[in-house]
Amino acid sequence: MKRWIAAGAIVAIVVLSLAVAFWQGTGREVGSPKGPSGGQVALVRVEGTIVSGEGSGSLLSGASAGSETIVKHLDRAAEDPAVKAVVLRVNSPGGSVVASWEIAEAVRRVQDAGKPVVVSMGESAASGGYWISAGADRIIASPDTMTGSIGVILQVGNLSEVYEKVGYKTYTFKSGPFKDMGSPDREMTDAERDLLQDLVDETYEAFVRVVAEGRGMDQAQVRKIADGRILTGRKALELGLVDELGDLKRAVQVAAELAGLPGEPEVREMNRANGLLGALLGRGILPPASLGLPSGLYALEPGPVSIR
């Protein structure tokens, strides 16, 4: 009986949420401009570890920012004539190299469409969070934002001594000497160490170029501070990694100014669904799959190389 009551309560919440979402969505067309500005500033949030795929917003697994979903929002903003500028709200400690690169490319497409992009840094915008921020037209951080951490890391575990103690053995059949590189059941060879270090160095050089080009700095200047150190927003301002200190409201104001929008702009939040349903989905209280919906903003898929 209790299970039936609980199930009925969930169904009631879902129906109510859908009704509220529909009611809020019927007030006006989503993409239509309003207010004195005659245009919108799109707000796209990057919250949690940056990963490939759609990401997840589960309360249990933690939030992750999926590149596919964020890129979709940025591309929609680039193509929508009602959107005149974009604010990218970054609250991320970093993550996958590939996912960060994909988001940075989407930021570039927004700019190629003639729309300025302003980054608003939240609690953290470090490593991969800074990678996706570097190319923006303006970067605004809070004084105590944790940012910087420009660098690349790849970690490989060695459990060979543990395996030996418990009597665990593996038998490997491979097509080439490097096919089981990074296997935890043995020590690495010198050649394997060199290969992996070359991989990290290559990615690091790409990160340095992204920062140098985005911030108008010499690569040598970037390397002096691209040693993995964490910086506050204040220190990042001194070093030229951000443009000013301010909050999200200030970032919206700057985006509107860069786009030439008079008055107070309408802010269109691309990541959020309307109503109670959107709130429940966004906080992972109701998993999207339970309603037959696609994943939201945030399936943790960390790649082998991370920038954090």
pLDDT per residue as tens digits for the range 238-277: 999 999 999 999 999 999 999 999 888 899 998 764 444 4
Please give the pLDDT value at position 10: 53
CA distance 125 to 129: 4
* pLDDT mean across residues, the chain: 81
State pLDDT tens for residues 39-65: 899 999 999 999 998 877 654 456 788
Q: Could you give the CA distance from residue 304 to residue 130 in angstroms, rounded to a whole number?
A: 19
CA 47/CA 214 separation, integer angstroms: 22
Residues forming the active site: 127, 179
Q: Are 128 and 106 in contact (CB under 8 A)?
A: no
Q: How confident is the model at residue 18 (pLDDT cuts 50, 70, 90)?
A: very low
Six token digits for residue 58: 């589960």
> Which pLDDT belongs to residue 301?
27
At residue 298 the predicted structure's pLDDT band, cuts being 50, 70 and 90, is very low
Closest CA to 222 of 239, 234, 237: 239
- pLDDT per residue as tens digits for the range 147-182: 999 999 999 899 989 998 999 988 999 999 989 898
| 177-206 per-position pLDDT tens digit | 989 898 999 999 999 999 999 999 999 999
Distance, CA of 259 to CA of 116 (rounded, Å): 6
pLDDT confidence tier of residue 1, bands split at 50, 70 and 90: low
Q: What percent of the chain clears pLDDT 70, i.e. is strictly above it?
A: 74
pTM, full prediction: 0.76
Return d(Cα 233, Cα 124) in angstroms, integer: 9
